Chains A and B, each alone.
Chain A
C-alpha cells in the first residue's frame, strides 16, 4: 500500500524501471520472431543509430536570431521535424510572432516533460501547425519547478484546456489563464501525477478515503 508522500524522493513502490537493455521476462518483446526469414529478406533494415539533429536554416530562424540573438537556444531538424528551443523569457513573445507573422494559426498540442535531475525541471512545449504553409513546428522552453508561464489562451483559444491539463498533471501554473483548475482529476486532489517522482500506483489516499469511502483504490 503506497503511503502518500510529498517528499521529492521517489517512493519505493510502483513499477521500477529495469536497467536499460535488460529484457523484461514475460513481455511480448519479439514481434519479429514470427517471420524471421521474411523480415531478413526485406530491403530496408533498421539503422543501428538514429540520425542526429541537424541545424534548421530558414528565413524564420534567421529572423528570430536577428531579433532575439542568444534567446533562441537551438533551431534544429530531427527526423525531418523542425523545433525551436527558446529561453523562457522570450518564449511567449515568439509564440505571438509565430501566430501573427508566420501564420502558425493552429496550436496542435501543448504538453510538458519532467526531468527531475535538471535545474530547470520542466520542458514546456507547443506543437504548432500552419495551414497556409502546411508546416509543423515544435517550440520548447524550460521552466524551473514553481515557475509560471504566461497563458497562450489569447493567442490560441484551444490552449485553454491544454494548459489546464498541463497544470493538472505537472503543476505548472499559467498566469492570467481565465479558469486555471484541474481538468481530469478531482479539484481537491493532491499531487501532480505525471511528475517523475509520483509513483505509478501512488494516489491521494486521503481523497479516496473521503470521497469513495474505501481504504485504497488499489
Chain B
C-alpha cells in the first residue's frame, strides 16, 4: 500500500492493513471520486476502496462548502437569519424558509393566518416539484440519459417564473417571513398556478415514457443501492428514500404542520428499496404535490397574510424543535432562545447530511458505476450537507 495513502486520516477506517480475500489475491485499489466531479452534485469527495470494479468500502469526505451557518445564526437577529436558510438546500429554498419561520413562530407561540398558510403550501409544493425535477434531470444524466434533463429543466422554468413573479427571486426566494408572508399573491397568481397544474401531468407522463420502461434505465436502477426499512430507520434516513423501502411515513401526515391536514393526498411507497423504487416514489410524489396544489388554489381564502408579530422579534426563553417534510427528508430546526433578539443556538437537522451516511451501506458490493447512481438517487445537496 502506498505510504501517502495510509497517512491520510480519512483512509483509516477502510482497514487498509488487512485486505479482504480478493479475486486472484490482487491488491485493492483506492481511488478518489471528487471533490470536483460532476456526478457528485457539488463538492463531495468519496474515497472508494475497490477490488477491480467491486466496491469494498467507501468514506465520504465533506465540509468543502462549510460556511458555519449555525454560528452565523447566533450572531444575527431572528429576522436577519431568515435569508441564510435559503442557502442550505438551494434547490428547495422555499421549504427551508417554511421550516425556519414555523420553528420561530412556534417558539413565539403565534400562528400564521389561514391565507398565508395556503400561499405557503402552494409555494412549498411547487418547490417540491421543482426539486424533484432537478433531481430527475441530473440523476438521469449521471446514468447516461441526457434527454430528461432538457425536459425537466424546461418545465421547472415555469415554476421558477411563478416564484420570480411572486417575490422577485427564482432560487433563493426568501418567500416567507416570521408570522406569515411578506407579499400578497400577485395579480394572476392563481391563474398561473392553475395553468401549471394542468400543464405538468402530461409532462410527467412524458418523463415516465422516457424512463420507466426503458431497458437501460431499468437495468441501471433495479436492484441497485438496495436498503431495507430497518437500515433506513437505524441510519435515520428519511424522505423518499425511506418511503421507497416501504415505510409509509411522511411528516405532512404523521406530525402535520402548516395546514396540511386540510388536504387529501396519498403517501407513495415502494417495496424493494432500490434505486428504481425511489425513482417511482418521487414521480408519484410530484403528482401528489399537484393534487395538494389544486385543492389549495381552489380553496384559498381571503384575509390577512401576516399574523400580529412584534416589530422586534424576541421569543421568550425556551427551546423548540420543529421539522417539516422537505423534498429530501426531515428538515428540522432546533432553536434555543435566551429571550434576546438573537437566537442563542440554532441547530439545523439537514436531511441530506443524514441520508448521505447511508451511502456506504448502499454501495458495498456494488460496482463503481452504481456509486454514481446511488449518489444521484440519494438526492443530496452539498450546500445542506456542509452548511
Contacts and interface: CB of A to CB of B under 8 A. Distances in A.
Interface in A10-67: 14-15, 17-18, 20-24, 27-35, 38-42, 44-47, 49-51, 53
A29 B334 CA distance: 22
B329 to A, nearest CB: 11
B234 A157 contact: yes
B306 A35 contact: yes
Contact of A184 (B12, B255, B318, B386): B386
B311 interface: yes
Interface stretch (A87-95, A130-138, A143-151, A205-213): A130-138
Contacts of A29: 77, 79, 311-313
A50 B107 contact: yes
Interface in B321-335: 321, 323, 330, 332, 334
A75 interface: no
B357 A23 contact: no
Given A108-B323, A131-B233, A39 B309 contact: yes
B110 A21 contact: no
Contacts of A200: 71-72, 74-75
Contacts of A127: 321, 332, 334, 349
B372 interface: no
A50 B353 CA distance: 32
B75 A160 contact: no
Contacts of B79: 27-29, 31
A194 B386 CA distance: 14
B109 A79 contact: yes
A98 interface: no
A51 B12 CA distance: 50
Contacts of B313: 29
B247 A131 contact: yes
A42 B308 contact: yes
Interface in B86-112: 106-111
With a 10 A CB-CB cut-off, give which of B72, B111, B312 has the most chain A CB atoms: B312
A21 B312 CA distance: 8
Contacts of A49: 316
Contacts of B237: 158
Interface stretch (B60-68, B187-195, B292-300): B60-68
B70 interface: yes
A136 B255 contact: yes
A216 interface: no
Nearest to B341: A20
A161 to B, nearest CB: 5
Interface in B270-316: 303-316
A44 B341 contact: no
A29 B233 CA distance: 40
User: Chain B, interface size: which category?
Assistant: 35 or more
A108 B62 CA distance: 20
Interface residues of A, number: 69
B363 interface: no
B72 to A, nearest CB: 7
A187 interface: yes
Given A18-B341, A158-B354, A187 B9 contact: yes
Say whether chain A's binding surface is mostly helix, strand, loop, or mixed: loop
Interface string A185-210: 11100000110001010000000000
B306 to A, nearest CB: 5
Given A29-B79, A44-B110, A79 B320 contact: yes
With a 10 A CB-CB cut-off, give which of A27, A50, A113 has the most chain B CB atoms: A50
B347 A111 contact: yes
Interface string B331-374: 01010100111101101010001100100000000000000000
B309 A109 contact: no
A46 B309 contact: yes
A39 B310 CA distance: 11
A46 B71 CA distance: 28
Contacts of B344: 113
Nearest to B9: A187
A182 B270 CA distance: 35
B113 interface: yes
B321 A38 contact: no
Given A108-B323, A111-B334, A185 B66 contact: yes
A107 B236 contact: yes
A21 B314 contact: yes
A49 B315 CA distance: 8
Contacts of A194: 70-71, 345
Contact of A38 (B110, B306, B340): B306
Given A17-B342, A20-B341, A113-B344, A156 B71 contact: no
Contact of B318 (A31, A39, A50, A183): A50
B146 interface: no
Contact of A105 (B233, B303, B334): B233
Contacts of A24: 77, 80, 341
Interface string A161-177: 11000000100000000
A179 interface: yes
B126 to A, nearest CB: 22
Given A20-B341, A31-B177, A158-B357, 7 more contacts: A41-B304, A44-B113, A78-B320, A131-B233, A162-B354, A184-B386, A187-B10
Interface of B: 9-10, 12-13, 62-63, 66, 68, 70-72, 74-75, 77, 79-80, 106-111, 113, 177-179, 182, 233-237, 247, 249, 254-255, 303-321, 323, 330, 332, 334, 336, 339-342, 344-345, 347, 349, 353-354, 357, 386-387
5 contacts: A20-B340, A34-B182, A42-B307, A81-B321, A106-B236
